[in-house]
Amino acid sequence: MSDNSELLTPELKRLLDKYDRPGPRYTSYPTAPAWEDIPAADLESALDRYVSADDAGQAPPLSLYVHIPFCEERCLFCGCNVVISPEDKVSEPYLDVLHREIEMIAERLGSRRRVSQLHLGGGTPTYLRPEQLQQLTRWMQEAFVFEEDAEISIEVDPVVTRPEHVHALREVGYNRISMGVQDLDPKVQESIHRVQPEALTDKFYRLCRELGFDSVNMDLIYGLPYQKVGQFARTVERLVEWGPDRVAVFNYAHVPWIKPHQKQLPAEELPTPDMKLAMILETGRIFGEGGYDAIGLDHFAKPDDELAVARRNEILRRNFMGYTTQPSTESIAFGVTAISEIMGIYAQNITRLSKYQRTVLADHLPVHKGLRMSGDDLLRNEVIMDLMCNLVIDKGRIEARFGIDFDRVFEDALIGLREMQEDGLVELSPQEIRMVGHGPILVRNAAMLFDAYLPKGDEGSENLFSRTV
């Protein structure tokens, strides 16, 4: 196969030239650049509001996230919040601090609140030893009441995760696991400083299956150095053979001004936007033929997976942990840099490890940045969420929920959408706005039309966001 795909037609190339620009990924709205310094009191009062709502029987169960920032070595593409620590002198003190943070939050919540989701992310949570992971999980289970069918999940790097880790995780109730694969090609792996032989991934995947996780996810990235369309397709075909329940195929976010280590990647070997688009189109084709449903733009799931079912019913949601079927999210996050989203606020923990630890040990909630969402923020958040998750906005639902006249409030956005309609990307009707044709590929562009914080034109965005294609 050549460097391009026959799916990349001249019309699609024209659209790509027209629409490719820097833009947010909308894992939150308002996006992080709009956040400001906020006091810990904002999180405290959000927790108090949650308590009142829960006591009145009007709150959903909580989602919990714990950030373990450590990795032994750095992959050069990495865009996550990571602390590199080749020798483990950090995990014990970090766990002590996490324990204190869990206690502080639990005290504020007054009694043990219900939990429907726990996710350990990183970094690499399996940087911790198996018994440390179990201890951390038990602290959570003591502080909260886990629902019978709670999703308990973890992200792992198969290179550093040992069988003992996986056994220990199953023992304390983990039922979902997500593993980084990125790309199986040795040349790509070498260039990104992440050598992960296929045989190792194979062995790891089989172990997860043997141990009976309800859901196994694999992460890939497209847009890395030396990737070619046909070669990446081989990685995708191998994944279809393995048959994970879900796959995330991330668009490589190249942001060397924020993550300077990315400058060490051979920039001249990065695929062009055309090639990237061809790669994701081929990826979609191969997963489609392999029996997977597309979830949003870059996720795929087996048709009986609950995400695929929610997608078909157009009720999919997203939170900081990824796509979810839970209708509303109230999430509390623990650990350095972690972000809570609860009762109309975003609250991010301090991002410098030493300061985060000092603050918790001084018995203060370690909040530094965030946002109290206004009514307008909540409205736009809902609209953007609908678009990004389900590729459709149900105007009637939004009008009923927020008591607005959709077309009047979003007059400006509709001008941009009409242009996208002329390009065959969007279908506008009195009831709904729907991404059609090649539209799903450019859904970020449509979402940007509803973003009240974006600078007009691309001015300033180059330094904030990765490109939409």
Ligand X SMILES: C[S@@+](CC[C@H](N)C(=O)[O-])C[C@H]1O[C@@H](n2cnc3c(N)ncnc32)[C@H](O)[C@@H]1O
**Which residues, listed in sequence order, are joined to residue 411 by a DSSP beta bridge?**
none
Helix (H) / strand (E) containing 308: helix 306-312
Considering only 65, 174, 205, 252, the residue that binds ligand X (CB under 6 A) is 252
Considering only 79, 290, 416, 437, the residue that binds ligand X (CB under 6 A) is 79
Query: 368-399: string of b/e by CB count within 10 Å (b at 16+)?
Result: bbbbebeeebebbbbbbbbbbbbbbbbbeebe
- Looking at the Cβ atoms of 219 and 386, the one nearer to ligand X is 219
Tell me which of ligand X, ligand SF4, none is bound by residue 219, counting a contact when its beta carbon lies within the kind-specific cut-off of 5 to 8 angstroms: ligand X
Strand bridging mode 246-251 / 215-222: parallel
Round the CA-based radius of gyration of the chain to a whole number and report it: 22
Shortest Cβ distance from residue 180 to ligand SF4 (Å)?
6
Shortest Cβ distance from residue 160 to ligand X (Å)?
9
Q: Are 26 and 444 in contact (CB under 8 A)?
A: yes
Under rule CB under 6 A, residue 155 binds ligand X: yes
Give me the amino acid identity at 34. Answer: A
Count of CA atoms in the C-beta half-sphere (13 A) of 238: 19
Under rule CB under 6 A, residue 78 binds ligand X: yes
DSSP 351-363: SSHHHHHHHHHTT
Tell me which of ligand X, ligand SF4, none is bound by residue 74, counting a contact when its beta carbon lies within the kind-specific cut-off of 5 to 8 angstroms: ligand SF4
Q: What is the DSSP letter of 225?
A: T
- Residues 6 or more apart whose Cβ sits within 8 Å of residue 453: 30, 31, 33, 34
Under rule CB under 6 A, residue 15 binds ligand X: no
- Looking at the Cβ atoms of 195 and 415, the one nearer to ligand SF4 is 195
Task: Identify the three-state secondary structure at position 347.
Answer: strand
Give me 444's structure tokens.
Answer: 């970020």
DSSP 123-186: S-GGGS-HHHHHHHHHHHHHHSEEEEEEEEEEEE-TTT--HHHHHHHHHTT--EEEEEEE---H
Shortest Cβ distance from residue 28 to ligand SF4 (Å)?
20
Shortest Cβ distance from residue 17 to ligand X (Å)?
23
Q: Are 2 and 230 in contact (CB under 8 A)?
A: yes
Task: Identify the three-state secondary structure at position 298.
Answer: coil
- Looking at the Cβ atoms of 47 and 75, the one nearer to ligand SF4 is 75
Q: Determine the interface stretch with ligand X among 15-23, 71-79, 272-280, 375-383 (rule: CB under 6 A).
A: 71-79
- Identify the CA nearest to 389 among candidates 274, 279, 310: 310
Shortest Cβ distance from residue 466 to ligand X (Å)?
8
Binding region for ligand SF4 (CB under 6 A): 71, 74-75, 78, 80, 82, 122-124, 157, 180
- Looking at the Cβ atoms of 79 and 230, the one nearer to ligand X is 79
- Looking at the Cβ atoms of 47 and 136, the one nearer to ligand X is 136
Shortest Cβ distance from residue 265 to ligand SF4 (Å)?
13
Q: What is the DSSP letter of 457?
A: T
Whether omega for the bond prior to residue 30 falls within 30 degrees of 0, making it cis, is: yes
Considering only 13, 202, 250, 467, the residue that binds ligand X (CB under 6 A) is 250
Q: Determine the interface stretch with ligand X among 250-258, 289-297, 443-451, 453-461 (rule: CB under 6 A).
A: 250-258
Under rule CB under 6 A, residue 144 binds ligand X: no
Considering only 106, 211, 253, 378, the residue that binds ligand X (CB under 6 A) is 253
Shortest Cβ distance from residue 80 to ligand SF4 (Å)?
4
- Residues 6 or more apart whose Cβ sits within 8 Å of residue 359: 350, 365, 366
Using CB under 6 A as the criterion, what x/- string covers residues 34-63 for binding ligand X? Answer: ------------------------------
- Residues 6 or more apart whose Cβ sits within 8 Å of residue 139: 98, 99, 102
Shortest Cβ distance from residue 320 to ligand X (Å)?
12
Whether omega for the bond prior to residue 123 falls within 30 degrees of 0, making it cis, is: yes
Considering only 54, 219, 282, 330, the residue that binds ligand X (CB under 6 A) is 219
Tell me which of ligand SF4, ligand X, none is bound by residue 253, counting a contact when its beta carbon lies within the kind-specific cut-off of 5 to 8 angstroms: ligand X
Tell me which of ligand X, ligand SF4, none is bound by residue 448, counting a contact when its beta carbon lies within the kind-specific cut-off of 5 to 8 angstroms: none
Burial class (CB in 10 A: 0-12, 13-18, 19+), 415: exposed
Considering only 133, 221, 294, 449, the residue that binds ligand X (CB under 6 A) is 221
Q: Determine the interface stretch with ligand X among 14-22, 30-38, 77-85, 298-306 (rule: CB under 6 A).
A: 77-85
- Looking at the Cβ atoms of 352 and 364, the one nearer to ligand SF4 is 352
Considering only 7, 32, 80, 240, the residue that binds ligand X (CB under 6 A) is 80
The contact set with ligand X (CB under 6 A) reads: 77-80, 121-122, 124, 155, 157, 180, 182, 219, 221, 250, 252-253
